[in-house]
Chains A and B, each alone.
Chain A
Amino acid sequence: MFRKRLSILAAALMLTTAAHAADKVKVGFLSTLSGPGAGLGVDIRDGFNLALKHLNGKFGGLPAEVIVADDQQKPEIAQQATEKFLKKDKVDFMTGIVFSNLMLAVGPAVFDSKTFFVSANAGPSQYAGEQCNTYFFNVAWQNDNLHEAVGKYVQDKGFNKVVLVAPNYPGGKDAMVGFKRFYKGKSSEEIYTKLGQLDYAAELAQIRAQKPDAVFFFLPGGMGINFVKQFVAAGLSRDTQLFAPGFSADEDVIKAVGAPMLGMFNSSHWAHDMDNAENKRFVADFQKEYGRLPSLYASQGYDAALLIDAAVRDTKGKLDDKDAVRKALEAKRFKSVRGDFKFNVNHYPVQNYYLRVIGRDAQGRVTNKTMGTVFANHADAYAAQCKMK
């Protein structure tokens, strides 16, 4: 009886506080900050923090409190950290997850608690299609998109014997599906590896036996670094062209592998040489702050922070009004470093995808250079299955 009365009291209290402006904005930042996938999480975090610095430590004018946690690329650790964010810290937004299997593991708890997840990376097909959710926004891309762009380019260039390599997890499956949506060559062997695998001797022997004209690989972080090094060491780069989405050919991999990456084509929705004022400021300040070129992951972290900032400002800090927050996120009143984009009905971006090639820049650094546009205003293939509201 007493407990019931208490809960009524609590409910009444909650009603009275509803729609009052918050005095600060709490963000739970959960990402992979240790192990072979750590490079990605660190770049997202650094990009996010740079945006926060540009915003003077405030989201929409309110003091920001960002709580950072490391998921160690393990679903159970991610779930524990999420529980803490939701129940103890009572965060207003969550962001940061790199790997789609972790996103799918924590998604239900986040959505049930009516907390907005602004994904700065993981864009699983599940949350783009039938399981799309009011509380899920992806500010980067849907997983398939970058692979679709490479598939289209490989198809246009007339390759028709391609071996595909990706890890066996939701993001890897999205990669294969995305590539094959636009690549129609006749034989394409598909090799799935274990997520986190670092020794590719067995797979490289298989590739050698297949004698393909091209290899498409999606191996983010340390996996890709090892794959490219071992691919070159095995002598396969002499007669096999290597293609990858931007994930496996950005600054983190280039820094570790270096010159053997020269001439590799890859796709991205963003590049550090894009010509707009926001991007120039971002790239210059990122280098000043961290002493390295930003990767696409860093740009995504930066944009995620700007999106949260815009939503808080639009709702004037009334973060309990979930409907208003959702509308503000959908309206996305901020200038992205990638140029303009808009949200589709499933809360994934509709945007351009570009082809990049790794070469030497004016200062002699090995880095990416934008070549041209592969898709303009490209939407993902799952939006039609999304029945939101």
Chain B
Amino acid sequence: MTQLILEQALNGLQFGLMLFLLAAGLTLVFGIMDMINLAHGSLYMVGAYLAAAAAQASGSFLVGVGAAVAGTALLGVALEVSLLRRLYARDHLAQVLATFALILLANEGVRMLWGAQPVLLNAPDALAGPVEIGGFFYPSYRLLIIVVGLAVAALLYWVVARTRVGMWVRAGASNREMTEALGVDVRRLFTVVFACGAGLCALAGALLGPLLAVQVGMGESILILAFVVIVIGGIGSMRGALVGSLLVGLVDTLGRAVLPSLLREFASPEVASTLGPALASILIYVLMAAILFWRPEGLFPARA
């Protein structure tokens, strides 16, 4: 039983860290520029497709990941300079409409380029098997994802908390006008932040590609979770994004694993397995509702 819980906790950690990669970019974009970017999930999808294409062309997974991150970051810059910049002054409705249009464009574009069927992206052969940790086997690829996720989280923490650029970012998130008045070029800063956010999306897409499927529309479902994460964590806060991601990842995975077997004690398997996953997916939203009720600003509000 302890082994089961430990394994599920690792699964939750893995899922949470991948959510963090998405939520980190989203929370900064939302926090600093007060801009709702629904197309964040599309960058994740584009990243996964670029990774698959580059990995297939070069035969190396690592090259695929690198190409995806670089390519998507460039796409992010192009998008920010050409379109999103014009939307900052507009209200949220205009932003939602414009970025929703981007989702449709991205989905159709990918469908035209790569077709409607999922594209295969395989993990490197060396990581296809399991590794033994503490008396039980765990897929080595998932372990790699955890390690990469932790490393990126540590790096982001260092950049945001310890460097000058990080200070500007934090200042921009807590009070944009004042930061501008102090002479920080928030406009250029934001282009950089957006590019980084896009790169992180691509990293998540490329790493999750072999576990899930690289397909049209993969960004939408994960985008909703990323929004839940930043609402829980507090909009604009990097620390909030990390804590929120891990909470959502753990609650979702442990809920999915534990609830059906709990329900099976007093219901038929069909009922238990219908109710179990449904309840497990509701759990995240219950958590969000509870946090909105007691701490409407989120766990770590950036504009405290």
Chain A positions within 8 Å of B, measured between CB atoms, are: 33-36, 38-39, 42, 70, 168, 173, 190-194, 198-199, 201-202, 205-206, 208-209, 222, 225-226, 229-230, 232-235, 256
Closest Cβ–Cβ distance, residue B148 to chain A (whole Å): 16
26 contacts between A and B (CB under 8 A): A34-B111, A34-B116, A34-B117, A35-B215, A39-B117, A42-B117, A168-B277, A173-B270, A191-B273, A192-B274, A193-B273, A194-B277, A199-B212, A202-B253, A205-B8, A208-B4, A209-B4, A222-B215, A226-B212, A226-B213, A229-B210, A230-B211, A233-B139, A233-B142, A234-B139, A235-B129
User: Which residues in A have their C-beta under 8 angstroms from that of B253?
Assistant: 201-202
Interface locus among B64-72, B130-138, B171-179, B233-241: B130-138
If A194-B277, A235-B129 touch, does A38 touch B139 (CB 8 Å cutoff)?
Answer: no
Q: Which of B141, B211, B256 contacts A226 (CB 8 A)?
A: B211
Q: Is the CB of A192 within 8 A of B273?
A: yes
Q: Is the CB of A205 within 8 A of B130?
A: no
* B120 nearest in chain A by CB position: A256
Q: Is the CB of B116 within 8 A of A33?
A: yes
Considering the chains assembled together, what is the distance between the CA atoms of A191 and B215 in angstroms? 26
Q: Which of A33, A39, A192, A201 contacts B269 (CB 8 A)?
A: A192
Q: Is the interface of A mostly helix, strand, loop or mixed?
A: helix
Q: Which positions 242-299 of chain B face chain A at CB distance < 8 Å? A: 253, 256-257, 260-261, 269-270, 273-274, 277
Considering the chains assembled together, what is the distance between the CA atoms of A38 and B215 in angstroms? 11
User: Which residues in B have their C-beta under 8 angstroms from that of A235?
Assistant: 129-130, 137, 139
Q: Which of B4, B111, B140, B211 contacts A199 (CB 8 A)?
A: B211
The answer to the question of B128 belonging to the interface, with a C-beta cut-off of 8 Å to chain A, is yes
Q: Is the CB of B8 within 8 A of A168?
A: no
Q: Is the CB of B4 within 8 A of A233?
A: no
B129-163 contact mask (Cβ, 8 Å, vs A): 1 or 0: 11000001111111000000000000000000000
User: Which residues in B have their C-beta under 8 angstroms from that of A229?
Assistant: 210
Q: Is the CB of B120 within 8 A of A198?
A: no
User: Which residues in A have their C-beta under 8 angstroms from that of B15?
Assistant: 199, 201
Q: Is the CB of B269 within 8 A of A209?
A: no
The answer to the question of B59 belonging to the interface, with a C-beta cut-off of 8 Å to chain A, is no
Considering the chains assembled together, what is the distance between the CA atoms of A209 and B215 in angstroms? 32
Q: Which of B136, B140, B213, B269 contacts A190 (CB 8 A)?
A: B269
User: Which residues in B have their C-beta under 8 angstroms from that of A70?
Assistant: 116
Considering the chains assembled together, what is the distance between the CA atoms of A168 and B275 in angstroms? 11
Closest Cβ–Cβ distance, residue B6 to chain A (whole Å): 9
Q: Is the CB of A205 within 8 A of B257?
A: yes
* B271 nearest in chain A by CB position: A192
Considering the chains assembled together, what is the distance between the CA atoms of A199 and B141 in angstroms? 13
Q: Which of B8, B117, B130, B137 contacts A38 (CB 8 A)?
A: B117
The answer to the question of B7 belonging to the interface, with a C-beta cut-off of 8 Å to chain A, is yes
Q: Is the CB of B118 within 8 A of A222?
A: yes
Chain A CB within 10 A, most for which of B4, B118, B137, B215? B118
B3-18 contact mask (Cβ, 8 Å, vs A): 1 or 0: 1100110010011000
B203-228 contact mask (Cβ, 8 Å, vs A): 1 or 0: 00000001111011100000000000
Q: Is the CB of A209 within 8 A of B3?
A: yes
If A35-B116, A168-B274 touch, does A198 touch B213 (CB 8 Å cutoff)?
Answer: yes
Considering the chains assembled together, what is the distance between the CA atoms of A199 and B218 in angstroms? 13
Q: Is the CB of B7 within 8 A of A205?
A: yes
User: Which residues in A have their C-beta under 8 angstroms from that of B257?
Assistant: 202, 205-206
Considering the chains assembled together, what is the distance between the CA atoms of A194 and B116 in angstroms? 22
Considering the chains assembled together, what is the distance between the CA atoms of A191 and B272 in angstroms? 9
Considering the chains assembled together, what is the distance between the CA atoms of A225 and B214 in angstroms? 13
Chain B CB within 10 A, most for which of A36, A70, A205, A232? A205
Considering the chains assembled together, what is the distance between the CA atoms of A199 and B211 in angstroms? 6
Q: Is the CB of B4 within 8 A of A34?
A: no
Q: Is the CB of A198 within 8 A of B137?
A: no
The answer to the question of B181 belonging to the interface, with a C-beta cut-off of 8 Å to chain A, is no
User: Which residues in B have their C-beta under 8 angstroms from that of A39?
Assistant: 117
Considering the chains assembled together, what is the distance between the CA atoms of A202 and B273 in angstroms? 13
Q: Which of B211, B261, B274, B277 contacts A206 (CB 8 A)?
A: B261
Q: Is the CB of B116 within 8 A of A202?
A: no
The answer to the question of B182 belonging to the interface, with a C-beta cut-off of 8 Å to chain A, is no
Q: Is the CB of A202 within 8 A of B139?
A: no
User: Which residues in A have their C-beta under 8 angstroms from that of B112?
Assistant: none
* B273 nearest in chain A by CB position: A192
Q: Is the CB of B117 within 8 A of A234?
A: no
User: Which residues in A have their C-beta under 8 angstroms from that of B217?
Assistant: 35
The answer to the question of B93 belonging to the interface, with a C-beta cut-off of 8 Å to chain A, is no
User: Which residues in B have their C-beta under 8 angstroms from that of A222?
Assistant: 118, 213, 215
The answer to the question of B113 belonging to the interface, with a C-beta cut-off of 8 Å to chain A, is no
Considering the chains assembled together, what is the distance between the CA atoms of A234 and B138 in angstroms? 6
The answer to the question of B57 belonging to the interface, with a C-beta cut-off of 8 Å to chain A, is no
The answer to the question of B304 belonging to the interface, with a C-beta cut-off of 8 Å to chain A, is no
Closest Cβ–Cβ distance, residue B145 to chain A (whole Å): 11
Considering the chains assembled together, what is the distance between the CA atoms of A192 and B267 in angstroms? 14
Considering the chains assembled together, what is the distance between the CA atoms of A190 and B269 in angstroms? 7
If A168-B274, A201-B142, A232-B128 touch, does A209 touch B1 (CB 8 Å cutoff)?
Answer: yes
